[in-house]
């Protein structure tokens, strides 16, 4: 028994069109498919009675994200970045060639910089910060001349 491949990471959003623009126009993801779901088995699996779900799949660099919108049921909770020390997915990172220009681009698409996260690390010649998407999902913008993960 083994895992065949990683399929996607899901991100709950309040406004599907706005989030598609953010990830597509801001981060370069490409739309690959859509689903509309209104069935009892999926409602049971997700724990959302009378589920109505619209999902859009976006790809970039071998990574697929699934944007999940609930037009009938709505979303719950605040649209703010979760604490970095709260269990669960905290963020995902993207490498950029100009951190400040990317902050401006994403802000125009509904994102927001977390001001206290904006740092420059001379040891790595890195300029880094966290930006949230329109729904509070945290993205790490990394501007660095070399890739420390490779």
Give 106-148 pLDDT, tens digit per residue.
Answer: 999 999 999 999 999 998 889 999 999 999 999 999 999 877 6
Q: Is residue 63 in a domain?
A: yes
pLDDT for 82: 87
Name the stretches of the chain with pLDDT < 70: 148-150
Task: Note down the domain range covering 101.
Answer: 92-143
Q: Is residue 74 in a domain?
A: no
pLDDT for 8: 95
Radius of gyration of the chain (CA): 17
Both 21 and 60 in a single domain?
yes
- Global pTM reads 0.92
DSSP string, 91-112: -EEEE-S-HHHHHHHHHHTT-E
Both 106 and 60 in a single domain?
no
Q: Is residue 85 in a domain?
A: no
Q: Is residue 84 in a domain?
A: no
Q: Give me the CATH number covering residue 103.
A: 3.10.180.10
């Amino acid at each position: 028994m083994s895992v065949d491949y990683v399929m996607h990471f899901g991100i709950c959003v309040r406004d599907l069109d706005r989030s598609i623009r953010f990830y597509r126009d801001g981060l370069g993801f490409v739309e690959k498919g859509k689903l509309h779901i209104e069935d009892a088995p999926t409602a049971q699996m997700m724990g959302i009675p009378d589920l109505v779900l619209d999902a859009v799949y976006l790809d970039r660099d071998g990574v697929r994200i699934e944007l999940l919108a609930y037009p009938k049921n709505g979303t719950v909770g605040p649209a703010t970045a979760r604490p970095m020390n709260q269990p669960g997915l905290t963020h995902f990172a993207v490498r950029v060639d100009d951190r400040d220009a990317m902050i401006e681009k994403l802000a125009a698409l509904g994102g927001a910089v977390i001001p206290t996260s904006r740092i420059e690390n001379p040891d790595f010649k890195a300029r880094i910060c966290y930006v949230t998407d329109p729904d509070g999902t945290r993205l790490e913008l990394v501007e660095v001349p070399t890739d420390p993960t490779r």
